[in-house]
Structure 1
């Protein structure tokens, strides 16, 4: 057995890696991400590139001897506080992990002492995972003040390939090769500090809500709970589709990507697949490039369970645009109503193409209005699906009807004349009153 004192005399690998990283970073003056958030104070990206990246890198010196392990295995277990883009936080625990990164729960140790989430995305320069990371940062920055979109607090990038030679090899990033034969000399890590939404997803609500709806004898109350939660998703998506000069398609809209914030507000997240591009079939000439692109992008950006018919069968020659989100929105509403996705996991595209919609035998009763809405959202033809402004209007009307708000109008109007405050008439339900009940999740 080797002598422990001799081993301890070895220079820490992590500290050596940090020195190497800072040395390499001094030569990186040409790399200047214009999308960095918050933006640097100067208007010259080239001048501020090195200080900005140095700030991000030096803020992560808390990694110390664990630098190499952190690059490969994440940050979990780190207890020291560190500063990221002027926000001082401490890692609490890892809450999610995927093929390209992790999400950590962190706590702000100064100032507002907020609970936050740190999302770390590993990427390789020029590959689609880097494109997705940059896209997500851009989208979050655009909608930073939107109440139904997860709030971006800070964002940055660090050259992960500078930490250690071992970190240049990562298993499975391209989905084909192992750790011994994938060389990644330009690997980077994109970091996003986000508001903490640890009370569950809309998919969790679908499962728990299904159980509650069976125990709730009041059909209107069941429907009100569903519509109130669904309305938050609609408001977030409406912002994307109203974007100018071109609508933004989320392209991976599902209940798993809708989080419940601390103030009982549903927030849309995961914008790595978002795009303003429209795929049109050729008026003449070969169809093969169009077919290949539709199939490739559907496979890469959209979960099988929420793919629209035009994404499942490119030979239909449909325009692929933000209307794929409307179909996915119908899948989300169906899942909230019936506790399961209408076409399962999407492994059978024929079920989607045949629009095989079957209500569960033990399904609760719903109004004709909400049934018509989910049917219209799941229209086979993109042109038959309603636009988001129409969807939001219909949801609002259904909420009012489910809550019997019409009977409150006279009472509220009379109270306002007398200078009173907000009033809820006896027996009436405001749109938000059932929200907390339906979204009563265990915190993390």
Structure 2
């Protein structure tokens, strides 16, 4: 057999050997890897029957705690039904995680695929051309993100906090509607911290699961006797609104330089670029959420009200 024929067979073999994933009797062919985090991999897949594209989040669990966290994430998807929060289409667990037996389990979560990508992708594209968005368009997008966050915060009997809100965790659907994704860091919002050990546990968990440029100050330095609540998300929303205006979180540059994000966040020294199409009303709205003391931060209902007021002011000036 000549080398051309052998290469053809090898290529065909690679195509035929394309990985497939079965979730509750539905089979999906893996098209490509979309992203990878410390705890999971996100794959672009195609239903082998309908050829419709989906995203599958694959979580490898090494112990019972990992497994419980993954299954809890699935419960959160089922619990929160909102147009600005991603839906779970299907899910399954394969195997049992047992470190003593040296076995792992895999949890697969089937999610919609949004080909437009994330808000972070859109802002990177705009940053290259200094293409600032219209202030009213920004506030319209931000308002929808806030409505999604409100769905977490008003869950009964106890509110939930997303804990990793950032532009990379918000996708855009075909008509540009923002949809919050990745509920893997979600947790009960209100935590009464009693003692240094409890503080250390929460701080370590935040370090693992909450992105630094969007992480609230009280999660960098958890006090031994304190209360942490859903306003951790309000800080992140302030960073998101800043990014919608200026393409990056106010603490992204510190992170990229390798300087201490914790110190920058704790001082909350936020500067605004000059010669941009955003006035003091927008800047005041951002700063109202970026209060170092969480007790001075508004709850989501007040944020939504302030966004409506700012939109009304801007429309009044048009």
User: Normalization by structure 1: what TM-score?
Assistant: 0.61
Secondary structure in 2 aligned to 1:133? helix
Q: Pick one of 122, 127, 131 that aligns with 2:68.
A: 131
1:358 aligns to 2:271 (yes or no): yes
Q: CA separation in 1, counterparts of 2:58 and 2:101?
A: 17
RMSD over equivalenced CA pairs, Å: 3.0
Q: CA separation in 1, counterparts of 2:109 and 2:43?
A: 10
Bigger strand share: 2
Aligned to 2:121: 204
Secondary structure in 1 aligned to 2:184? coil
Give the conservation status (yes or no) of the 8 Å contact 1:294–1:311. Answer: yes
Q: Pick one of 54, 60, 72 that aligns with 1:122.
A: 60
- The 1:374/1:207 distance shift into structure 2, 3 A limit, reads same
1:391 aligns to 2:299 (yes or no): no
Number of aligned residue pairs: 301
Consecutive unaligned residues of structure 2, counting only runs of 5 or more, are 1-12
Q: CA separation in 2, counterparts of 1:191 and 1:154?
A: 8
Q: Deviations over 1:88-138 (max 9, x none)?
A: 433222222334332221223445x532111111012323x3333222211
Q: CA separation in 1, counterparts of 2:60 and 2:32?
A: 18
Aligned to 2:161: 249
Aligned to 2:6: none
Consecutive unaligned residues of structure 1, counting only runs of 5 or more, are 1-64, 67-75, 162-167, 169-181, 408-427, 429-444
Give the conservation status (yes or no) of the 8 Å contact 1:259–1:269. Answer: yes
Secondary structure in 1 aligned to 2:108? strand
Q: Deviations over 1:48-83 (max 9, x none)?
A: xxxxxxxxxxxxxxxxx99xxxxxxxxx98547765
Shift of 1:366: 1.2
Q: CA separation in 2, counterparts of 1:384 and 1:222?
A: 29
- The 1:252/1:109 distance shift into structure 2, 3 A limit, reads same
Q: More deviation in 89-98 or 266-275?
A: 89-98
Aligned to 1:319: 227
Secondary structure in 2 aligned to 1:319? strand
Greater Cα radius of gyration, structure 1 or 2: 1
1:261 aligns to 2:261 (yes or no): no
Q: CA separation in 2, counterparts of 1:86 and 1:262?
A: 29
Q: CA separation in 2, counterparts of 1:266 and 1:89?
A: 26
Secondary structure in 2 aligned to 1:337? helix
Q: More deviation in 386-395 or 320-329?
A: 386-395
Q: CA separation in 2, counterparts of 1:150 and 1:119?
A: 12
1:92 aligns to 2:31 (yes or no): yes
- The 1:330/1:109 distance shift into structure 2, 3 A limit, reads same
